Amino acid sequence: MTSSAQKSSRKETLKHYSFIDGLRALAILPVVFFHFNMAHMTGGYVGVDIFFVLSGFLITGLIDRQLAAGNFSIVHFYERRCRRILPPLFVTCFASVIAAYFLFMPHDFLQFSRVLGGISFFGSNFILARWTGYFAHPDSSKPLLHTWSLAVEEQFYVIFPLLLVALGRIFKNRRAAVRAAVYILCAISFALSVALLHASPAKTFYLLHTRAWELLAGAILALHLKEIKLRRAMAEILSALGLAVVLLCVFLYNRNTPFPGLAALPPVLATVFLLWANIGHETLTKKIFESRPAVGIGLISYGLYLYHWPLLAFTHYYLDSAPPPAAAAALIAAAFALATVSYFYIERPIRAGGVFKRKTVFALSGLGLVTFGLIGLTGLHTKGLPQRFDATVLRYAAVNDYSGHVAVPEKCVATGWPDLQGVSLCKFGKDPAAKPDFLLWGDSHAGAIESAVRRDSGQYGVTGWAVVRSGCPSLIGAARADGFADYSCPDIARAVLRIIRENHIRTVLMVSRWDMYALGWEKGSDETTREPFISFTTAGGRRLLRKQAFSAAFMATVKKLHAMGVTVWVMRQVPAQLVYVSSALARAAYFGRDPARLERTYEAIRKRRHFIGAVFRAAAREYPLHFIDPADTFCPQHKMCLISADGQSLYTDNSHLSFFGAQWSRNMLDPFFKTLR
């Protein structure tokens, strides 16, 4: 190659990587602003999908060139991954361990330790898929939540290079056959992402088998890049289209968009278009991505991704609320500063290879992973290091870890009603073997008071049964419309009706978190996940959503139960809080803050309940209904609403009663039980 040709080649390589760095900026900025709830980037999480495509494209291109040249080394490949990924990750983990040790309550430190231990074998996505789901603890208690995407990538790169080598040997380096195998794998992964999204939402979001297609989309482009050329005009169109689609997804998607599945296809294809159109062509879009600000942000994007989230999570945790705009802007600036320092003084020197030799890199990598694994095991073994706190703090923090069903296992039985889909039928009271005097039916809020119902059943000498399914309201025909449920709520409701009919049950106590299904999460609360609103299909086939669905479903339920001769009792919702109460109370005691500042006014509760109350009143005008209002107990004189008593938390999170809270407030059930004598 001549000297001029060499200079031209180097120039094109620089242009290529400058453009890729600009695309990284397009990926990281929406993620950051989404997490900080800024700039209306409600779908900013698609930035991770952009990263996946870029990663699949770059790494596959590198491996493919080295395999073609006969100089691919799996040891060298993993050395590069260690140099690229681990140093900033170790900094993040180390700083997070220090912050969690001084800030996190035992339960939160326990969950933190689970994820930290998962990072030690690049398996944090498995921990999060099993533990966090979409209705778990607030994001502020998960400072390492974002490491799931690193786990997906590293799992992919443990398998994919070896797979390419194996395919090359099996097919004797016939590129068409190797490509076909990659196509098939991509298609299978995409099909799984679509098919499993509704049945297993958390696993579909976090795990490799439903995310691999995004990396493989970039890989397919890399394997074909030399053979699929574009005209300049088409490159301009595809480039502009790709950028427009990404921006539309960033601004139009939100937490209620079923994702990944089909919704991930537009940003993935858009990223492929951006790569394909701009490599080899000087488009207008490419000039934007090659600008100095875009390239600069892209260069520090990895550190920015790692550092911004723990800064936000720990600040939110300390404040008991999301940081105000000024503080959020300061945190973003701090993340940029840390990422810049990290890039110039940690990432770039170590990647260049002059700091550590290969053996040292592997030794330090192994030592770091083992160290964080041991710290995680320590947190798990000690149950969150409770010895860090005094007795007052621990009384608030030591509430039962609500898991959606608190019934005593030995009192629950397998049912003969298959529509219950694995939900146990629990029997308790004077004679659990006898026909029931009443049925407790509801979602996790029914489960939260079940211990009080069980105790009162024994004291009043009556027999009760309970059907409790987290996320399913005690409403006939109410289906989860958010697309995220591994069970059918209408099927469970039909099974409940059969149980009532076949056992001649004459009294039903309905308990659910009513407002959530009609209104979604309350603004300002710690609940930041997908909103579990419902749908209801009328006899005429019309599908209703949210408020309309709730009104129709509640009226249909009351009407059906009344026709069956059932006396219907409805427990109004326990006053919902804006914070996870047990942890917030413990932090208030630890940091010397007044716990009373966490209490909400009855007026705020009343405003939130207004719509649901109107639905209840409308139904009560047509059918005889009986109500239990926890606010009468929790909000004395209808002023401030209590969240603690006798130095203990009445709640486990922001809306479920703790075991203590259920027992403390069980007198509110007396009117119900007195009618059963």
Could you report the per-residue pLDDT of 336-356, keeping only the tens digit for each?
Answer: 999 999 999 999 999 987 788
pLDDT tier, 138 (very low <50, low <70, confident <90, very high otherwise): low
In terms of DSSP bridges, do strands 425-429 and 463-468 run parallel, antiparallel, or are they unpaired?
antiparallel
Give the pLDDT of residue 127: 93
Looking at the predicted structure, is the pLDDT value of residue 136 above 50? no
Angular region, 390: left φ>0, alpha ψ -120 to 50, beta rest: beta
Residue 414 pLDDT level (bands cut at 50, 70, 90): low
pLDDT value at residue 407: 39
Instruction: Name the band, by pLDDT with cuts 50, 70 and 90, for residue 418.
Output: low
Mean pLDDT of 154-166: 93
Looking at residue 11, what is its pLDDT? 40
pLDDT of residue 402: 42
Tokens found for residue 170: 């099996």
Determine what percent of the chain is predicted with pLDDT higher than 70.
91
Q: Which CATH number does the domain 409-576+603-643+664-674 belong to among 3.40.50.1110, 2.40.50.100, 3.40.50.300, 3.10.20.30?
A: 3.40.50.1110
Residues of the chain with CATH 3.40.50.1110: 409-576+603-643+664-674
Relative to beta strand 648-649, strand 640-641 is unpaired
Q: How many residues does the chain have?
A: 677
Question: Residue 202: which pLDDT band, with cuts at 50, 70 and 90?
Answer: confident
- Residue 172 confidence class, pLDDT cut points 50, 70, 90: confident
370's CB contacts (< 8 A; 6+ apart) are 120
Closest CA to 653 of 551, 535, 489, 526: 526
The runs of H, that is alpha helices, within 320-357 are 325-342, 348-352
Most confident of 39-48, 348-357, 393-402: 39-48
pLDDT the model gives residue 4: 41
> How much is the mean pLDDT over the chain?
90
* pLDDT value, residue 226: 78
Mean pLDDT of 48-69: 94
- Dump pLDDT digits (tens) for 556-589: 999 999 999 999 999 999 999 999 999 999 999 9
- Model confidence at 487, pLDDT cuts 50, 70, 90, reads low
Compute the distance between CA of residue 171 and CA of residue 339 in angstroms, rounded to an integer: 44
Closest by alpha carbon to 307, among 342, 345, 351? 342
| Interval 428-479: pLDDT, tens | 988 888 889 999 999 999 999 999 999 999 999 999 999 999 889 999 999 9
pLDDT at 317 over 90: yes
> Per the structure block, which two tokens stand in for 576?
């919902």
- Residue 315 pLDDT grade (very low, low, confident, very high; cuts 50, 70, 90): very high
Evaluate whether 116 touches 172 at the Cβ level (below 8 Å). no
Region 73-84 average pLDDT: 94
Per-residue pLDDT tens over the stretch 322-340 = 899 999 999 999 999 999 9
Q: What is the pLDDT of residue 135?
A: 35
If you average pLDDT over residues 302-310, what whole number do you get? 97
- What values do phi and psi take at 648, rounded to 5? -130, 155
Burial zone of 454 (CB within 10 Å; 0-12 exposed, 13-18 middle, 19+ buried):
buried
Report the DSSP beta bridge partners of residue 568: 508, 625
pLDDT for res 41: 96
- What the block records as the tokens of 432 is 């659990």
